Amino acid sequence: MPISNAQIAKVFYRIAELLDIKGENPFKVRAYEKAALVVESLSEPIEKIYQEGRLMQVPGIGKSIADKIGELIETGKLSYLEELESSIPAGVVELLKIPEVGPKTAWLVYKELGIKSIEELEEAAKEGKLRVLPGLGPKTEENILKGIERLRRFGERVPLGIALPFARQVVEWLKERAPIDKIEPAGSLRRRRETIGDIDILVTSTNHLEVMDAFVSLPIVREVLAQGETKTSVITDMGIQMDVRVVEPDCFGAALQYFTGSKEHNIHLRKIAQDMGLKISEYGVFRGDERIAGRTEEEVYNTLGLPYIPPELREDRGEIEAAKEGKLPHLVEFKDIRGDLHIHTKHSDGHFTIREMALAGKRMGYEYIGIADHTKGLGVAAGMNEEEILREKEEIERLNEEIEGITILAGVEVNIKMDGTLDIDEEVLDQLDFVIASVHSAFKQPKDVMTERICRAMEREVVDILGHPTGRLIGKRDAYEVDGEKLIDEALRTKTILEINAFPDRMDLPDILCRAAKVKRAKFAINTDAHSIDQLNLIEYGVATARRGWLEKEDIVNCLPVEELLKLFKKK
Ligand code: DGT
Ligand code: CA
Ligand code: CA
Ligand code: ZN
């Protein structure tokens, strides 16, 4: 049963955490944390050390830890951990899911107030019962309530749209405050999953201690879970855990590969390595004792007989097989995008004028932008009636005369009413360059009614693009009940383009449906749905979703030059 150093370290961290909850002797807790750090910082696989009987020679590993490592390697389990887990009320361990609650707080509220569930903690915080405990105050109560709310909304995960800018900020801060050579966020963040469990950052540096000191001193750190020379874990003030690992330059590629995951992708890679008589770990690819790759990710993949696989594909959903056969897709990139076709302005609920959005689009390097304001059915968004739509179109024509270097396309985002009809006269829609049709009401219709409703709208010749096709809001609202397969088939039959709405709480079509639709040769438009100039930058979330869905630029209509795009819109 192969087990990595990181996995064994994880077990020891868990033991430390549980002992900590129980209020055990701090030295004992510390001993397990130290053991975890020792195991993590080893420069060779611990399995090998174990097999050669050298465990007890490793500084920091005594008899009791060595026995536990042995048990883990032999059985993949640890009875001590299992006993420990069963000796603590599950509800108390549950409290740790709230990012604002560390082991000490969990134990304190359990011991003093008998709290052993999230619900009980919530009630106590609301009633101001926590502030009487040592070290807790009204602010803690407030933070805990916020944490509970976040937990309920997102599970334990944070949307990519929050985690990615946050991680980038931390990277910038670390670069300013410590001697850093390479720095790269890994994990699900690098794979651009739509939600992130925790943030993993990898660093190479000539001075480990300075990096870690800089990290724990950042203003965003709420609690330091463990600080070591090679790995430091903190809970940040937005509730998400962040781990920084400093690795040796020779291992950077291997570590980046390992900690980018996914776990499933890594397991598949490990099997390939084994079949070749090699071993792969976060330290490199090894033949026997000799490291034969590790400095770069390319090197790691090439050594296993594979081309480089982009992070967004690493989910073990066929990418390794495709890589072997030389059939990896050439994933779409931001530079392939020639324009953004879903932009709101002051004519509905946007914050800028058409001119301002056009000039911003030009600064993005776009050839064209498509204005798609809301229509009248959407009262809350100050939607336009027929007359206003035609006036906006005239304004766009005037601006096109005046502004050089970018073409403004006149469109709207028309509402698909409950019965599948549109809320704007088709004669007016027909005069526009393009039309996006979206569902903005009656989300709770039964699946067959909703599916029929959307299909009916796609049937209309004037409708070019189906906007945010599933209607989900990540962490806030589930997709409406809709038959995704049927939707894709009808989009194909009616030549309707599927939007990949880039807004980070939408990312809709979701990646899995992108892939399913691509297989059937559907066409896509990656759009931001921007309501402001800054939001034009959200396009990267749409590109990420498309990449996770294996899409290439040929699949995406807004990678076309403007004449071809307009021809395509006319063809339907
Ligand atoms: P997350 O944080 O839940 O959004 O997802 P990840 O993918 O970032 O997962 P995380 O933070 O638990 O671990 C980071 C990477 O480390 C993961 O993508 C792959 C690698 N890894 C973690 N645990 C294991 C493991 O048990 N086996 C293998 N092969 N790799 C692992
Ligand atoms: Ca992670
Ligand atoms: Ca992690
Ligand atoms: Zn919309």
Residues with CB in 5 Å of ion ligand 2: 187-188, 198, 200
Report the distance separating Cα 257 and Cα 243, nearest Å. 16
Closest residue CA from atom 23 of ligand 1: 263
Closest residue CA from atom 2 of ligand 1: 197
Residue among 563, 460, 501, 505 nearest 341 (CA): 501
> What pLDDT does residue 22 have?
85
- What backbone torsions phi and psi does residue 136 show, to the nearest 5 degrees? -105, 150
> What pLDDT does residue 104 have?
82
CA 213 / ligand 1 centre spacing (Å): 25
Which tokens sit at 568? 């395509």
Measured between alpha carbons, how far is residue 70 from residues 78, 208, 322, 398 in Å? 9, 30, 38, 77
> What pLDDT does residue 154 have?
62
Pocket test for ligand 1, best of 158, 189, 236, 266 (most atoms within 8 A of CB): 266
> What pLDDT does residue 37 have?
79
Q: 217 CB less than 6 Å from ligand 1?
A: no
Q: 263 CB less than 6 Å from ligand 1?
A: yes
> What pLDDT does residue 421 have?
97
Q: 262 CB less than 6 Å from ligand 1?
A: yes
Q: What is the pTM of this model?
A: 0.78
Pocket test for ligand 1, best of 263, 283, 285 (most atoms within 8 A of CB): 263
Q: 147 CB less than 6 Å from ligand 1?
A: no
Closest residue CA from atom 3 of ligand 1: 197
pLDDT digits (tens, 9 = 90+) for 324-336: 999 999 999 999 9
pLDDT digits (tens, 9 = 90+) for 88-102: 887 888 888 787 788
**Radius of gyration, alpha carbons of the chain:** 27
> What pLDDT does residue 170 have?
95
Q: 10 CB less than 6 Å from ligand 1?
A: no
> What pLDDT does residue 7 have?
78
> What pLDDT does residue 257 have?
98
CA 93 / ligand 3 centre spacing (Å): 19
SS3 state at 22: coil
Report the distance separating Cα 171 and Cα 284, nearest Å. 24
Domains in the chain, CATH or no CATH each? 5-154 (1.10.150.110), 158-246 (3.30.460.10), 251-324 (3.30.210.10), 334-571 (3.20.20.140)
Roughly how many angstroms between the first and final C-alpha of the chain, as a whole number?
57
Q: What residue ranges of the chain have pLDDT lower than 70?
A: 1-2, 153-156, 379-380, 475-476
Spatial contact of 42 and 58, defined as CB atoms under 8 Å apart: yes
